[in-house]
Amino acid sequence: MKISKLLKDSPTSFIHMLAAGFLLASSAAVRAEEYDPATKVHVDGLWLRVHAEDCPALILKEEKKTMTLGEADKAGYRIGVSGQSGRENCCFKGYQRKHPQKELTDDTILCGNNEKRNVKHVAGCHRYWPDRSDLRRPLKDWVADGFKVCPHCRERGPAASTISDEEWGKLGPPGNFTAPSGWVPKAFHPDRLPSPEELEILIQETLSKGAAIQELPFVDPVASMENFMTMRFFFPVHQWLNLYMAYRVTGDSRIRDTLLVSARHYHKLSVEHPSVGQLKAGVPEGFAYMFSMAASARITLQMARKRPDLVSRDELVEAEDFLRTMAMILKPTCEGDGSALDPDMGVPKALADDFRTRAFNRSMNGIGTLGIFTAALEDLQAIKKNKAFQPMIDHYQKVVKEYLEYWFSQGHICPETRGFYYPYKPENGKARMEEGHPVFRRPEDAGHYSHTLQGVVFLYESAPELGVDDEFMTAVANALHHNSTTKIVRQGRSVLSGHVECPVMSKVRPYGKRNDKHQYSPARERFYVLQAFRDDLIDGLCASLNETRKQAANSEYDKRLATRYAQYVKALRKDRRLIHLVGNPR
């Protein structure tokens, strides 16, 4: 990206204001409606819910039982609700029930551990990550022992499916890391190679966290797919990212095999339930459920180009399968149904509207996944020595480019810090201008910036020619370094800000309040990768910590991995064909 161009193009574009306007339309209160009790309804697998024939949230209709609306009401099913806690009304709007809905009872099985005074859940709750060591007991027994019940679980009501004892016994990560005796974790030096022993420990720690399959293995597979649909992917799944980074910094085959477990799982899900995958990938956030597929395929194909002797025919076939399946899943959203494309962006209208309205952190990891996907297709094409995938590559690169150009158009390269700033979500020219700088209505907070940055890093690695190049990454590093090292005055107090603002923004209207949830936090490991673009970056992120606290923070697993990953990205700047840093060649 040309910084000089961005400096000129301040975010004063009003072109897309109209498209954003629909967000303002309020949903009026739902009026009571009459429905024929003989209407056919489809019964969910996970929760006691039923849906209408044409409900947009209904998945796998052909695999579901049906009954009548009257029967469902009498049996206590929740009618026409979806979402994690059942707060969305997806169908049968305005339905007036005749009978009470089923609630949790004394005998409902709730799960959790016996040590902490945390709330107890129904398996499948979005607030609960079960582990095989957790207990499953009737609600009344937990309550008798002084435990509380999760309010989301109460609101949502009972489950319709369970997890078998056999599957329960496999839940949770292996957790089999044992530190060698006498080993004390120590921070990695940003510029020095850790010892082989330290790297092997990092590998062991990573492997002990498993493959991080997200949805639970219910007895009814439809229930698992409904559980999958409620998963959020706007941030990269932490462990998939760990595996990916650990591979890039070690080249270790055990790590790659574990990433493959996730890739194969989501490949199988996509092939067996394409309609579910396509619905999940209906917006960019959902693309990222295929991150491990894209990353595994890319690594295999990079290797096949560089060291063909090390890659088997089966591995090549599998990588191509992952990419073909991704193309099948992405097609309806990214290629559309043949109706007119958005006149400004040249991508399907619904996708363009999503770009122009959704918070950037929600989409960027999905866009980053597309970047990896297109780079892998280019590798595949080079190996096959043909141009069969070129139209697909061109199309998906255009999708990424349109998204990035739109994001850049909403952002600001500040001439004072040479840093890149952007609003939490598109503001489409509504930011007021002061001294030639935009004052965003809501500047991005550092937590969400870290999600966005992860997608951006994927694009830097896979497709820098689309705009996320060395110059842009340096601008991001500049903004975050400044944010961590320069106090602002907010409500009369001198503080480091939890929002990433340029000096004019923080002077004219410092965003945020004391005690709001976006306070400054030092040593965010997601930002450590930017050490590849500024040698003082990690020091800057830790500037508010004393030496003891800094060493303690940087000795944590996440920080050691991120510090080493920054070394990989720094080496990648010099050699774009680099697959991984030292280690086992496979």
Binding residues vs Zn ion (CB under 5 A): 51, 55, 57, 80, 90-91, 121, 125, 127, 150, 152-153
CB atoms within 10 A of CB 432: 11
Cβ closest to Zn ion, residue 58 vs residue 541: 58
CB 47 to Zn ion: min, Å? 12
Closest to Zn ion by CB, 90 or 328: 90
Provide the H-helix boundaries in 98-180.
Answer: 139-144, 151-156, 165-168
* CA–CA gap between residue 53 and residue 43 (Å, rounded): 11
Whether the CA torsion 340, 345, 347, 349 is positive or negative: it is negative
CB of 91 to Zn ion, least distance (A): 3
Least Å from the CB of residue 196 to Zn ion: 44
Residue 573: CB atoms within 10 A of its CB come to: 14
Residues 6+ positions from 32 with CB-CB distance below 8 Å: 94, 96
Q: Which two tokens stand for residue 130?
A: 């079960």
Instruction: Report the nearest approach of Zn ion to the CB of residue 449 (Å).
Output: 29
Cα distances (angstroms) measured from residue 312 to each of 197, 258, 301, 304, 506 = 30, 18, 11, 9, 55
In terms of Cα–Cα distance, which of 524, 521, 489 is closest to 503? Answer: 489
Q: Cβ closer to Zn ion: 90 or 231? A: 90
Residue 321 burial class via C-beta count within 10 angstroms: exposed 0-12, middle 13-18, buried 19 and up: middle
CB nearer Zn ion, residue 126 or residue 265: 126
Q: How far is the CB of 348 from Zn ion (least distance, A)?
A: 24
Residues making up the chain, counted from first to last: 586
Q: Tell me, what DSSP letter sits at residue 439?
A: E
The distance of closest approach from Cβ of residue 120 to Zn ion in the complex, given in angstroms and rounded to an integer, is 8
3-class secondary structure, 204: helix
Question: Is 97 or 441 the residue whose CB approaches Zn ion more closely?
Answer: 97
Q: Name the minimum Å distance from CB 209 to Zn ion.
A: 23
**Tokens 């559980």 — which residue?**
227
Instruction: Please identify, using beta-carbon distances, which residue of 42 and 580 lies nearer to Zn ion.
Output: 42
Q: How many CA atoms lie within 13 A of 62 on its CB side?
A: 3
Q: Given the complex with Zn ion, which of 149 and 578 has the nearer CB atom?
A: 149
- If the CB atoms of residues 82 and 365 are measured against Zn ion, the closer one turns out to be 82
Cα dihedral 19, 24, 25, 29, rounded to 10, equals: 150
Q: What is the DSSP letter of 129?
A: -
What is the SS3 assignment for 481?
helix
Task: Please say which residue, 55 or 271, places its beta carbon nearer to Zn ion.
Answer: 55
Shortest Å distance, C-beta 114 to Zn ion? 17
- In sequence order, which residues have a C-beta less than 8 Å from that of residue 385 and are 6 or more positions away? none
Closest distance of CB 44 from Zn ion, Å: 9
